[in-house]
């Protein structure tokens, strides 16, 4: 009897997939913009046509979320993302400045490793495939084992669309034997040119330490501040819509509500009216033990689960029709589960005196977890919005919108994306919503516009001017020098 090592099989599969992806990408690199656009349109139409089937598959396989909401996610990935990128220039000359004599040329990165989470499996595959193909790249997916069937089915639909338009089908592929060792090989292989990492903290950290350039996503933990001038009914509706969407599986979703003493009761009453339930102290203590595992990470038993399922495993008796679980909290920190990221219909509730205190509390929450990601403010006060925009350590400050859909560009005009950069403060290489523009290099062709002799002459004249004008104030002298240098170089 022959024993087969699954890890070795996985590594070998990855090497073969990368080899084929590299070969396919070389063909793709020779395509015109029209050909690339035809491919993207075909993938968009094919995946949109199967949006409901894929949503149901993802829900049935993982147990996460609400399949009807996953249909919306698949629609967003296949249509909204496509509509945004379809007219982008991503092949050949993308910009030409005749005055400065600089031409910019898009150069595909090559083979991309796409890490796919179990919370948003099918939509993330569609999105990453589209933006990678639009930039002229191949992509090899590392699927979360808990969503393997749904992810493979999505890739098969994409490959069929590629074949239909005569494109190399190996430019989109997926590991069928996912293991940690196989994923490690995918990330560190010398023919992998970039990693698009969406997943748990450990996986994102592994991507950044792999030695391969990576674009990763840090954890979300966005507060939602309802300032005293806000329309309470609308603010609560938006938070409820967002936090209950797909049972809270989008990382941009709200994780805590911050209110002021003056509007606390109004917000409290409106939350209950719209289907929220405030836990008693005893219930809050009971549920807190199920939010995190002993190692401090999120408990997968609650991720993307319904309120009823969470109540059942925690032994809580919640009212019929409850849509959101609310826990009043005063503390912030790693040891306080309600102040952490909870990809479930559970949210913390904080009360402060005024917007300045809300500002401080928001920073404290984000610095505990979620720094660089997203937060939301509901207000009609533009001065408060400006103050928050200047001070909050986030890449997206959303105003009067549901965070889950606003952060990804669904209810805002941000770039439609399912990979949201958190900036260097959040351990990411960018603070942008990721699109095709992040997946190609730019080669610049620059013509000479001045000679060294001209630069020397300008420098000499500036030195002479300095000696003759040293009686001027420092500020006046600097201004004179800058003016003279610019005049010589023009």
pLDDT digits (tens, 9 = 90+) for 84-117: 999 999 999 999 999 999 999 999 999 999 999 9
Distance CA 222, CA 224 (A): 7
Please determine whether the domains at 6-217+435-443 and 222-415 fall in the same fold group of CATH.
no
pLDDT confidence of residue 467: 62
pLDDT confidence of residue 390: 95
* Residue 433 DSSP label: B
Contacts 24+ apart (CB under 8 A), 33-38: 33/89, 33/90, 33/91, 33/92, 35/167, 36/90, 36/91, 36/133, 36/134, 36/136, 37/86, 38/165
Interior CA angle at 202 toward 200 and 208, to 5°? 105
Joined together, the tokens standing for residue 466 give 């300095």
Phi, psi of 254 (to 5 degrees): -65, 140
Cα 255 to chain centroid, rounded: 16
Report mean pLDDT in 10-residue bins for the chain, 490 residues: 76 98 98 98 99 98 97 98 98 97 98 96 98 99 97 99 98 97 97 90 84 90 98 99 97 97 98 98 95 88 96 94 97 96 98 97 96 97 96 96 98 97 90 97 97 88 64 64 68
**DSSP class per residue in 381-396:** -HHHHHHHHHH--EEE
pLDDT confidence of residue 1: 40
Query: Domain segments of the chain: what residues?
Result: 6-217+435-443, 222-415, 452-489
Smallest CA-to-CA distance from 410 within 250, 221, 290, 256 is with: 250
pLDDT confidence of residue 483: 76
The matching CATH number, chosen from 3.40.309.10, 3.40.50.10490, 2.40.40.20, 2.60.40.10, for 222-415 is 3.40.309.10
Topology of the domain comprising 6-217+435-443: Aldehyde Dehydrogenase; Chain A, domain 1 (3.40.605)
Greatest alpha-carbon pair distance for the chain in Å reads 93
3-state secondary structure of 357: helix
Active site residues: 251
Joined together, the tokens standing for residue 12 give 């070998």
CB atoms closer than 10 angstroms to residue 417? 23
Interior CA angle at 326 toward 308 and 281, to 5°? 100
Sheet containing strand 111-116, edge to edge, reads: 172-174, 138-143, 111-116, 194-197, 214-216
Q: Are strands 394-399 and 346-352 parallel, antiparallel or unpaired?
A: unpaired
- Secondary structure element (H or E) that encloses residue 125, with its range: helix 121-134
């Amino acid at each position: 009897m022959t024993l087969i090592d699954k890890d070795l099989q996985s590594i070998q599969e990855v090497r073969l997939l990368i080899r084929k992806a590299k070969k396919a990408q070389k063909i793709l690199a020779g395509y015109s913009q029209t050909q690339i656009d035809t491919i993207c349109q075909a993938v968009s139409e094919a995946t949109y046509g199967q949006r409901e089937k894929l949503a149901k598959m993802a829900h049935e396989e993982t147990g996460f979320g609400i399949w009807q909401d996953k249909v919306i996610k698949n629609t967003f990935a296949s249509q909204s993302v496509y509509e945004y990128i379809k007219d982008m220039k991503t092949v050949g000359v993308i910009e030409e400045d005749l005055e400065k004599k600089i031409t910019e040329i898009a150069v595909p990165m090559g083979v991309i490793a796409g890490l796919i989470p179990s919370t948003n499996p099918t939509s993330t595959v569609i999105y990453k495939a589209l933006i990678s193909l639009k930039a002229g790249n191949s992509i090899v997916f590392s699927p979360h084992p808990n969503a393997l069937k749904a992810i493979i089915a999505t890739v098969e639909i994409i490959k069929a669309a590629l074949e239909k338009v005569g494109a190399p089908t190996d430019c989109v592929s997926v590991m069928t034997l996912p293991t940690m060792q196989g994923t490690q090989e995918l990330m560190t292989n010398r023919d992998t040119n970039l990693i698009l990492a969406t997943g748990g903290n450990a996986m994102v950290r592994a991507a950044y330490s792999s030695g391969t350039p990576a674009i990763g996503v840090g954890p979300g933990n966005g507060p939602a501040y309802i300032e005293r001038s806000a329309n309470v009914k609308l603010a609560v509706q938006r938070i409820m819509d967002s936090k209950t969407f797909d049972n809270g599986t989008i990382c941009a979703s709200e994780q805590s509500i911050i209110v002021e003493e003056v509007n606390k009761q109004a917000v409290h009453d409106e939350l209950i009216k719209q289907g929220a339930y405030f836990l008693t102290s005893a219930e809050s203590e009971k549920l807190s033990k199920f939010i995190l595992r002993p190692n401090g990470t999120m408990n997968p038993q609650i991720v993307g689960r319904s309120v009823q399922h969470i109540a059942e495993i925690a032994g809580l008796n919640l009212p019929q029709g409850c849509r959101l679980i609310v826990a009043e909290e005063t503390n912030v920190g790693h040891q306080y589960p309600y102040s952490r990221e909870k990809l479930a219909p559970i949210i913390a509730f904080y009360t402060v005196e005024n917007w300045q205190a809300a500002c401080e509390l928001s920073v404290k929450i984000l610095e505990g977890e979620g720094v660089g990601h997203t937060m939301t403010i509901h207000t009609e006060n533009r001065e408060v919005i400006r103050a928050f925009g200047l001070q909050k350590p986030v890449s997206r400050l959303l105003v009067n919108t549901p965070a889950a859909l606003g952060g990804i560009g669904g209810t805002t005009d941000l770039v439609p994306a399912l990979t949201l950069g958190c900036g260097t403060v959040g351990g990411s290489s960018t603070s942008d919503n990721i699109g095709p523009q992040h997946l190609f290099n730019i080669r610049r062709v620059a013509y000479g516009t001045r000679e060294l002799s001209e630069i020397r002459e300008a420098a000499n004249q500036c030195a002479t001017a300095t000696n003759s004008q040293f009686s001027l104030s420092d500020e006046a002298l600097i201004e004179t020098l800058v003016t003279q240098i610019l005049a010589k170089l023009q």
